[in-house]
């Protein structure tokens, strides 16, 4: 009796609960920025129409800052197929910058969702993230132009694209999420829809692929669309959508047009979109996407939609400089057949790259050891900076059809904030090297123009060229230095033979003349390279009348440093030279012979094939070249032999001082300075760090053990261009045996 009574009560409860349930099918929250910290939010829901839905003229929203509010419904529309769409809007002001999660939770989902157990008893929870960060700029969320209630067939490929439009041109990424229920938790027992092959979403285009549905029924899936600006996440929107799968014998219609188009801003894009159906059904053809939403000169379709056995329409877009942006535009094309009992929709995502034009008239003129660059005034008024690049050698590549920016191997030498500038001079270049220059423009969102044509120069070879500053390879243990230089090939007629050379050595800051004569080689046997901290040479040339004919750029020896830890030997080296260093070979003593164990293109190597408490010896051999013809290549130079002892136990956390190999001084408050990772800083007695470029010029020095280099030259106060620099760091600290010394040297790369 009691069991029957409880059963009846349960039925009545379920009936009453279902009768007042809103039967949510899909939803998302979007927003637009109004100014300051004020935003207008739109909550869009898709429901089964019933009495409960009719009474829901407001919904409860949490703003993420502790405030909560019922927001009003401003309109609704009956879409047919047992579905209505509702729009709720409200304005909310935030008191300060921060990250806020806006959420809505409403009972209940509609009855019978296959992959949501007991779906009619499960609430729908959706979230949107808002990041207010003045340093990144204020943000508008994506707007989703395609409805999230759709249909498909068992055994047939199902496709969907939300046609997400970002008004700010931010980069978007997509990923699947489990649908969420009460308190934003993943729904217990939720599963992704069953597929015969795969169910996934394209992280770049946002296309949802279901290949292929196995069972008929209603399914709910969720995905998050994340916005990225300058590599930083600036917001996201979660969409919960519903797909109805039925048994039907129908095939997807086909869409005909290219997948990608590229054009220069100011040009017109004109192409035909057409569709056909393999079953002979009529097809409705439509399109949506960012090009139709832009405020200036939006794209048009002629006609706006098409219907028939072979429908077609013309896409026409007169682009302007305002359309230049870092991310491609997307046009999502829909072809929907009129098949029965279920009409199927195919989609095609077309990407359109609107590129900034290249800087025109770019030329380079040589004036001694300086290069004067000039170009025509840039045509795009919305560019923010011009970027000047240089590389040794000249290959003058031609960019591909859709290629913007610059390829690897070029060094940024100037950032010109005044985009109306039409000239720049690159000074104090190494003679004996050919250089290629390029220039391009950058835009507010980081978009780069097509690179300019190459401008190449070859500096006159009118001074001697240092070619070797090497440990004596015949007797590496001695540490004696072999120096070589090349006679200039272009000697002015005013100079009279015979010619003589003066070789200057700079050892640990002390300058001395070590050779005068007519030879182009000299063995400097009055030192031991292994004991030197810095070692640099330069050579000056004079004629028979003692007229100075020129002086080479400085060239350093290969300075190797080796440090042992508990389970590895860490090697690093510097070589500040006027030629190009291509690669380095590392040699290790095994038995009574040195054996090559690695070849690298950077300036560090870690050997893990070591044993605790062992002593190991290493040296490195570098290979480089000048770009001029007629100079020997490769230029081979050896370091000193360095010994290192490997620790026999885990190091005690008393004092540790390590330096990174890259930092990013771009003002984002993250990794903006070159600084050590240090423990026990109070143990440091004194410190000295010197940073120099590949030509041996000192850019910065400090006695601060925390270094704190911001990437600027101490002399010019200007930013050093991105690239690789070298450091020498000497630390004296209180160790277990009294004052101990730590010597570090290596390379640091600036990335902007």
Reported pTM: 0.71
- pLDDT tens digits, residue range 566-576? 788 999 999 98
Min mean pLDDT across 299-313, 388-402, 428-442 is at 428-442
What's the rounded mean pLDDT across residues 663-681?
Answer: 81
- pLDDT tens digits, residue range 455-474? 999 888 888 999 999 999 99
Q: Report the pLDDT value the prediction gives residue 598, as an integer from 0 to 100.
A: 96
Q: Report the pLDDT value the prediction gives residue 542, as an integer from 0 to 100.
A: 95
Residue-averaged pLDDT of the chain: 90
pLDDT of 454 over the 60 cut? yes
Q: Report the pLDDT value the prediction gives residue 695, as an integer from 0 to 100.
A: 67
Backbone angles phi, psi at 330, to 5 degrees: -115, 135
Q: Report the pLDDT value the prediction gives residue 14, as an integer from 0 to 100.
A: 37
In this predicted model, which residue has the larger pLDDT, 159 or 726? Answer: 159
Q: Report the pLDDT value the prediction gives residue 720, as an integer from 0 to 100.
A: 83
**In this structure, how many other beta carbons lie within 10 angstroms of the beta carbon of residue 719?**
17
Min mean pLDDT across 354-358, 386-390, 715-719 is at 715-719
In this predicted model, which residue has the larger pLDDT, 534 or 639? Answer: 639
Whole-number Å distance between alpha carbons of 510 and 515: 16
Q: Which candidate, 444, 445, 390, 387, places its Cα nearest to that of 418?
A: 387
pLDDT of 428 over the 80 cut? no
pLDDT of 22 over the 70 cut? no
pLDDT of 26 over the 60 cut? yes
Q: Which candidate, 173, 209, 174, places its Cα nearest to that of 192?
A: 209
Q: Report the pLDDT value the prediction gives residue 460, as an integer from 0 to 100.
A: 80
pLDDT of 117 over the 70 cut? yes
Q: Report the pLDDT value the prediction gives residue 12, as an integer from 0 to 100.
A: 35
**188: pLDDT confidence band, cut at 50, 70 and 90?**
very high
What's the rounded mean pLDDT across residues 642-664?
Answer: 77
pLDDT of 16 over the 70 cut? no
Task: Write down the residue that tokens 């200007």 correspond to.
Answer: 718
In this predicted model, which residue has the larger pLDDT, 127 or 17? Answer: 127
In this predicted model, which residue has the larger pLDDT, 429 or 188? Answer: 188
What's the rounded mean pLDDT across residues 616-622?
Answer: 96
What's the rounded mean pLDDT across residues 106-130?
Answer: 94
- pLDDT tens digits, residue range 267-288? 999 999 999 999 999 999 999 9
Q: Which residues contact 15 (CB under 8 A, 6 or more apart)?
A: none
In this predicted model, which residue has the larger pLDDT, 712 or 179? Answer: 179
Token duo for residue 122: 């499960």
In this predicted model, which residue has the larger pLDDT, 521 or 722? Answer: 521
What's the rounded mean pLDDT across residues 8-28?
Answer: 54
Kindly give the pairing relationship between strand 83-93 and strand 68-80. Answer: antiparallel
Q: Report the pLDDT value the prediction gives residue 668, as an integer from 0 to 100.
A: 64
Residue 676 CB-density burial (10 A; 0-12 exposed, 13-18 middle, 19+ buried)? buried
Whole-number Å distance between alpha carbons of 146 and 345: 12
Whole-number Å distance between alpha carbons of 669 and 667: 5
Judge contact between 571 and 607, C-beta under 8 A.
yes
Domains in the chain (CATH in brackets) are 2-246 (2.60.40.10), 254-355 (2.60.40.10), 363-458 (2.60.40.10), 462-651 (2.60.40.10), 656-750 (2.60.40)
**In this structure, how many other beta carbons lie within 10 angstroms of the beta carbon of residue 395?**
10
**DSSP secondary structure string, 712-735?**
B-TTT-SBPPSEEEEEEEEEEEEE
What's the rounded mean pLDDT across residues 577-598?
Answer: 93
Token duo for residue 532: 């030197």
Q: Report the pLDDT value the prediction gives residue 52, as an integer from 0 to 100.
A: 64
**In this structure, how many other beta carbons lie within 10 angstroms of the beta carbon of residue 526?**
11
Q: Report the pLDDT value the prediction gives residue 669, as an integer from 0 to 100.
A: 65
Q: Report the pLDDT value the prediction gives residue 653, as an integer from 0 to 100.
A: 53
Q: Report the pLDDT value the prediction gives residue 422, as an integer from 0 to 100.
A: 97
**752: pLDDT confidence band, cut at 50, 70 and 90?**
low
**7: pLDDT confidence band, cut at 50, 70 and 90?**
very low
Per-position b or e across 4-40, b if 16+ CB within 10 A of its CB: eeeeeeeeeeeeeebeebbbbbbbbbbbebeeebebe
Q: C-alpha angle with apex 479: 473 to 483, nearest 5 degrees?
A: 65
Q: Report the pLDDT value the prediction gives residue 369, as an integer from 0 to 100.
A: 78
Judge contact between 357 and 266, C-beta under 8 A.
yes
Q: Report the pLDDT value the prediction gives residue 709, as an integer from 0 to 100.
A: 93
Whole-number Å distance between alpha carbons of 30 and 148: 14
Q: Report the pLDDT value the prediction gives residue 553, as an integer from 0 to 100.
A: 85
Q: Report the pLDDT value the prediction gives residue 305, as an integer from 0 to 100.
A: 96
Task: Write down the residue that tokens 């979007």 correspond to.
Answer: 30
The 3-state secondary structure of 212-267, one letter per residue: EECCCEEEEEEEEEEEEECCEEEEEEEEEEEEEEECCCCCCCEEECCCEEEEECCC
Token duo for residue 424: 């720049």
- pLDDT tens digits, residue range 506-537? 998 889 999 999 999 999 999 999 999 889 99
Judge contact between 112 and 21, C-beta under 8 A.
no
Token duo for residue 702: 């400090």
Distance of CA 531 to CAs 56, 146, 457, 482, 508, Å?
Answer: 83, 71, 40, 16, 10
Task: Write down the residue that tokens 């980081």 correspond to.
Answer: 446
Whole-number Å distance between alpha carbons of 380 and 359: 9
pLDDT of 17 over the 60 cut? no
Backbone angles phi, psi at 531, to 5 degrees: -95, -5
DSSP 3-state of 695: coil
Q: Report the pLDDT value the prediction gives residue 674, as an integer from 0 to 100.
A: 92
| Sequence-ordered strand ranges (E) for 427-464 | 434-442, 455-458
pLDDT of 120 over the 50 cut? yes
**649: pLDDT confidence band, cut at 50, 70 and 90?**
low
Q: Report the pLDDT value the prediction gives residue 103, as an integer from 0 to 100.
A: 97
pLDDT of 183 over the 60 cut? yes
pLDDT of 412 over the 70 cut? yes
Judge contact between 419 and 385, C-beta under 8 A.
yes
Kindly compute the dihedral angle of the four CA atoms of residues 603, 609, 612, 613, in this order, to the nearest 10 degrees: -60
**646: pLDDT confidence band, cut at 50, 70 and 90?**
confident
Min mean pLDDT across 156-170, 495-509, 628-642, 724-738 is at 724-738
What's the rounded mean pLDDT across residues 75-100?
Answer: 93
């Amino acid at each position: 009796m009691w069991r029957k009574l409880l059963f009846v009560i349960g039925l009545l409860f379920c009936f009453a609960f279902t009768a007042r349930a809103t039967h949510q099918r899909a939803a998302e929250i979007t927003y637009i920025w109004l100014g300051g910290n004020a935003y207008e939010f739109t909550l869009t829901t898709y429901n089964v129409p019933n009495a409960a839905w009719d009474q829901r003229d407001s919904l409860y929203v949490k703003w993420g800052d502790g405030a909560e509010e019922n927001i009003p419904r401003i309109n609704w529309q009956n879409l047919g197929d047992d579905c209505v769409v509702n729009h709720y809007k409200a304005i909310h002001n935030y008191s300060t910058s921060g990250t806020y999660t806006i959420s809505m939770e409403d009972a209940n989902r509609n009855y019978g969702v296959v992959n949501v157990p007991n779906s009619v008893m499960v609430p729908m929870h959706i979230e949107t993230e808002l990041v207010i960060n003045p340093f990144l700029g204020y943000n508008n969320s994506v707007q989703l132009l395609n409805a999230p209630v759709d249909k498909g067939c068992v055994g047939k490929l199902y496709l969907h694209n939300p046609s997400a439009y970002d008004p700010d041109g931010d980069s978007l990424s997509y990923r699947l999420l489990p649908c969420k229920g009460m308190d934003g938790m993943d729904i217990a027992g939720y599963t992704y829809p069953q597929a015969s092959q795969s169910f996934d979403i394209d992280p770049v285009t946002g296309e949802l692929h279901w290949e292929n549905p196995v069972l008929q029924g209603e399914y709910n899936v969720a995905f998050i669309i994340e916005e990225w600006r300058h590599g930083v996440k600036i917001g996201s929107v979660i969409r919960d959508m519903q797909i109805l799968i039925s048994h039907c014998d129908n095939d997807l219609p086909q869409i005909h047009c290219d997948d990608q188009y590229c054009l220069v801003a100011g040009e017109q894009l004109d192409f035909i979109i057409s569709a056909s159906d393999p079953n002979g059904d009529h097809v409705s053809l439509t399109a949506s996407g960012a090009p139709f939403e832009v405020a200036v000169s939006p794209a048009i379709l002629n006609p706006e939609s098409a219907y028939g056995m072979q429908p077609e329409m013309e896409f026409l877009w007169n682009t302007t400089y305002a359309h230049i942006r870092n991310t491609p535009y997307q046009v999502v094309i829909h072809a929907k057949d009129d098949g029965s009992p279920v009409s199927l929709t195919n989609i095609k995502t077309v990407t359109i790259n609107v590129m900034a034009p290249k800087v025109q008239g770019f030329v380079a003129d040589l004036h001694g050891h300086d290069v004067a660059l000039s170009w025509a005034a840039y045509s795009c008024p919305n560019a923010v900076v011009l970027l000047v690049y240089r590389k040794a050698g000249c290959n003058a590549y031609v960019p591909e059809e859709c290629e913007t920016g610059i390829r690897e191997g070029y060094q940024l030498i100037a950032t010109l904030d005044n985009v109306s500038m039409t000239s720049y001079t690159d000074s104090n270049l190494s003679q004996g090297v050919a250089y290629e220059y390029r220039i391009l423009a950058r835009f507010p969102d980081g978009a780069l123009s097509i690179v300019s044509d190459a401008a190449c120069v070859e500096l006159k070879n009118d001074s001697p060229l240092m070619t070797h500053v090497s440990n004596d390879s015949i007797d590496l243990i001695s540490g004696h230095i072999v120096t070589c230089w090349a006679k200039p090939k272009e000697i002015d007629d005013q100079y009279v033979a015979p010619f003589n050379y003066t070789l200057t050595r700079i050892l640990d800051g002390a300058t001395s003349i070590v050779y005068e004569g007519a030879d182009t080689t000299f063995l400097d046997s009055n030192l031991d390279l292994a004991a030197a901290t810095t070692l640099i040479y330069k050579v000056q040339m004079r004629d028979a009348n003692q007229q100075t004919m020129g002086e080479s750029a400085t060239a350093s020896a290969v300075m190797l440093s080796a440090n042992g830890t508990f389970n590895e030997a860490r090697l690093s080296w510097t070589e500040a030279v006027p030629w190009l260093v291509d690669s380095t070979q590392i040699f290790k003593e095994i038995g009574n012979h040195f054996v090559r164990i690695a070849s690298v293109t950077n300036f560090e190597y870690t050997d893990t094939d070591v044993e605790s408490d062992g002593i190991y010896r290493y040296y490195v051999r570098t290979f480089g070249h000048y770009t001029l013809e007629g100079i020997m290549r490769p230029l081979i130079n050896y370091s000193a032999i360095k010994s290192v002892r490997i620790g026999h136990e885990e190091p005690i956390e008393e004092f540790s001082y390590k330096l990174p190999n890259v930092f990013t001084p771009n003002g984002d408050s993250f990794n903006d300075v070159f600084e050590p990772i240090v423990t026990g800083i109070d143990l440091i007695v004194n410190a000295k760090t010197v940073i120099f470029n590949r030509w041996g010029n000192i850019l910065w020095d400090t006695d601060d053990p925390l270094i704190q280099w911001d990437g600027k030259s101490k002399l010019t106060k200007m930013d050093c261009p991105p690239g690789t620099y070298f450091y020498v760091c000497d630390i004296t600290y209180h160790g277990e045996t009294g004052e101990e010394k730590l010597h570090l040297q290596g390379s640091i790369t600036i990335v902007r």
